Structure 1
Amino acid sequence: MYDSWLRLGLDTVRLGLEAQTVVALRLAKLSLGGSAAQDEAHRMVVEKVEAAAEAAVTLATGGTPERVVRDYRRKVRANAYRLSRD
């Protein structure tokens, strides 16, 4: 049990650090303005709503918090990759 809680804690910390990278990249893109910034702002809101709904479904259907964090990290890494290439 301790290993599971420890792993969850470490993965949650990693998620927070990775999310800060995405925040910085998004702020840079938003600061440029224009249609690309508008599209990114819309995408960000839609992604957050979808991710929260997916997390709720995962937990409601017996999924674990570890699964929720793993899914969020995958999405955050994908956003970091996409934004760093723009």
Structure 2
Amino acid sequence: MPTRADPLGAWFSLGLDMWMLGAEASSVIALRTMKLAAGGAAASEEAGLMIGEKVTAAMALAQQATLGQLGTSMPGIGSKAVAHYRRRVRANRKRLSRP
């Protein structure tokens, strides 16, 4: 069993986090596709949100990286970056799942 100091454990953990991000993002894509397919004002608003969210999330992550807030190890930086996006994806899934 890898310990905290074991770099392979950190990489494995990062891989699992990335897999979860992909699974969660897939559900958001499905929910957004249904909303966009329904058309109307809600679909137009969702399309605008999609673009704005991505720009905002990327800029926030770039700022964290610039300020050295993501850490110093490669798997640590990756884990914080994935966590950054997973929080936003989970918030979208929650919002889009509401009736």
Shift of 1:59: 2.1
Q: 1:30 aligns with which of 31, 36, 42?
A: 36
- TM-score, normalised via structure 2 length: 0.82
Greater helix share, 1 or 2? Answer: 1
Residue 8 of structure 1 is matched in structure 2 by: 14
Residue 61 of structure 1 is matched in structure 2 by: 67
Letter in 2 for 1:65: G
> 1:22-47: CA deviations, max 9, x gaps?
00000000001110000000001000
Residue 49 of structure 1 is matched in structure 2 by: 55
Q: 2:87 aligns with which of 74, 82, 86?
A: 74
Structure 2 CA distance for aligned equivalents of residues 9 and 52 of structure 1:
20
Residue segments in structure 2 that go unaligned for 5+ positions in a row = 1-6, 71-76
| Contact preservation (8 Å) 1:59, 1:65 | no
Which structure has the larger Rg over C-alpha atoms?
Answer: 2
Structure 1 CA distance for aligned equivalents of residues 87 and 38 of structure 2:
27
Structure 1 CA distance for aligned equivalents of residues 66 and 18 of structure 2:
20
Residue segments in structure 1 that go unaligned for 5+ positions in a row = none
TM-align CA RMSD: 0.9
Structure 2 CA distance for aligned equivalents of residues 49 and 61 of structure 1:
18
Shift of 1:61: 2.2
- TM-score, normalised via structure 1 length: 0.94
Structure 2 CA distance for aligned equivalents of residues 9 and 61 of structure 1:
25
